[in-house]
Structure formats: structure tokens, C-alpha cells
């Protein structure tokens, strides 16, 4: 016991000194309890912060993985779109060539039908190429001209057939069979004589 405690014991008595000692012990225990509570709160906060940081880290890693997958998917889609564009260009080119081939086939068949209908005349070889607009216009003009000639020939042939039928049809049915030919008109004798005199004078 210290000198101060001994003096206090002498002044206030031993009992009061014991009560004060117990109070000091109680204060010390309360301080320790509060300190332990604060330490527990700090520990809890630290653990919560650590768990939150771990969750954030996992979320960032998942986001990074998703971003990587998205970038890979977009790259694959870009490559696929480029392939589709290339295929579309190839298909368009093929269709253009096919259209040119079909047009040439049609034109050559028309040419064969219109210009080369004789058995001893062979048609020219088929050209599988795309012709220019001028060549197409010239070919169309030739075809139109030949069609016009064919129409005229067909009209003349039809007219001849009609005349042949009219010759064979009796005259009472509007035909020419059995119909008397028209007599030439009598010429004017005076005019004939004058013409003869003129001829004689010219000869002199």
C-alpha cells in the first residue's frame, strides 16, 4: 500500500478505502469492456470492408470476363458479316453473269428463228458475254426491221392467197370465175388521126 493510501486510511478509515479500491476496479473493468466493444466494432467493420472489397473484386473480374466474351462475340459477328457481304457480292456477280447468259441465249434463239431458218445455213456460235447498250440497240433494230419485212411478206402472201381464192370462186359469189372481162373503151378516131399526122410531121 502506498503512502497516500495509508494516509487516506488513517483519515477516512479502512472501509472507505476498500470501497474506493472496488470503485477503481469497476472503472477499470468498464474501460476494458468499452475498449473491447470498440475493438470488436473495428474488427467487424474491417471484416465487412474486406468482404465488400472481395465482392467488388469478383464483380470486376466477372465484368472483365463478360467484356472479353462480348468483344470476342462482336469480332466473330463482324467476321461473319464480312463473309455474308462477300457471299452476297459473289451471288450478285453470279446473277449478273447468269442474266447476261440468259439474255444472250434469248437473243440467239430469236436470231436463229428469224435469220437462220434454212437448213443449209448454220447459225453463228453463241457468244456468252454481256453486250453493250449500243450493240443491244443495233440488234433490236435489226430484229424490228426483220419483223417488219416478215409482216410485209405475210401480207403479200395473204393477198395472193385471197386473189387465188377469188379466181376460183364463181362470179355470183363475188369471185372472178366466169366473169366477162371488161371491154376496152372505144378510142376517139379524130384524136387518133391527129396523133398519126403529128407523128408523120415529126418524122419528116
Please give the pLDDT value at position 157: 92
Angle at 103 between CA 99 and CA 109, to 5 degrees: 145
The neighbouring-strand residues paired with 170 are 177
pLDDT tens sequence across 54-81: 999 889 999 888 888 888 888 888 888 8
Q: pTM score, two decimals? A: 0.28
Q: What grid cell was written down for 128?
A: 456468252
Measured between alpha carbons, how far is 48 from 108 in angstroms, rounded to an integer?
88
User: Of 26, 24, 28, 27, whose CA–CA distance to 8 is shortest?
Assistant: 24
Please give the pLDDT value at position 163: 85
CA 198 to chain centre: 90
pLDDT tens sequence across 144-201: 889 999 999 999 999 998 888 888 777 776 666 666 555 555 544 445 555 555 555 5
| H or E segment to which residue 174 belongs | none
Amino acid at each position: 500500500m502506498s503512502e497516500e493510501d495509508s494516509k487516506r486510511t488513517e483519515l477516512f478509515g479502512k472501509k472507505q478505502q476498500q470501497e474506493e479500491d472496488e470503485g477503481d476496479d469497476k472503472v477499470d473493468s468498464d474501460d476494458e469492456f468499452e475498449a473491447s466493444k470498440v475493438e470488436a466494432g473495428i474488427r467487424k467493420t474491417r471484416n465487412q470492408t474486406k468482404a465488400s472489397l472481395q465482392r467488388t473484386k469478383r464483380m470486376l473480374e466477372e465484368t472483365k470476363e463478360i467484356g472479353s466474351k462480348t468483344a470476342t462475340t462482336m469480332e466473330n459477328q463482324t467476321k461473319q458479316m464480312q463473309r455474308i457481304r462477300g457471299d452476297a457480292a459473289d451471288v450478285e456477280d453470279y446473277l449478273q453473269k447468269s442474266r447476261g447468259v440468259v439474255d444472250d441465249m434469248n437473243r440467239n434463239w430469236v436470231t436463229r428463228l428469224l435469220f437462220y431458218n434454212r437448213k443449209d445455213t448454220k447459225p453463228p456460235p453463241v457468244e456468252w458475254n454481256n453486250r453493250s447498250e449500243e450493240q443491244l440497240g443495233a440488234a433490236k433494230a435489226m430484229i424490228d426491221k426483220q419483223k417488219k419485212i416478215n409482216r410485209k411478206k405475210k401480207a403479200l402472201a395473204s393477198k395472193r392467197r385471197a386473189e387465188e381464192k377469188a379466181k376460183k370462186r364463181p362470179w355470183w359469189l363475188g369471185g372472178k370465175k366466169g366473169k366477162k372481162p371488161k371491154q376496152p373503151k372505144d378510142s376517139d378516131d379524130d384524136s387518133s388521126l391527129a396523133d398519126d399526122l403529128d407523128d408523120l410531121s415529126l418524122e419528116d
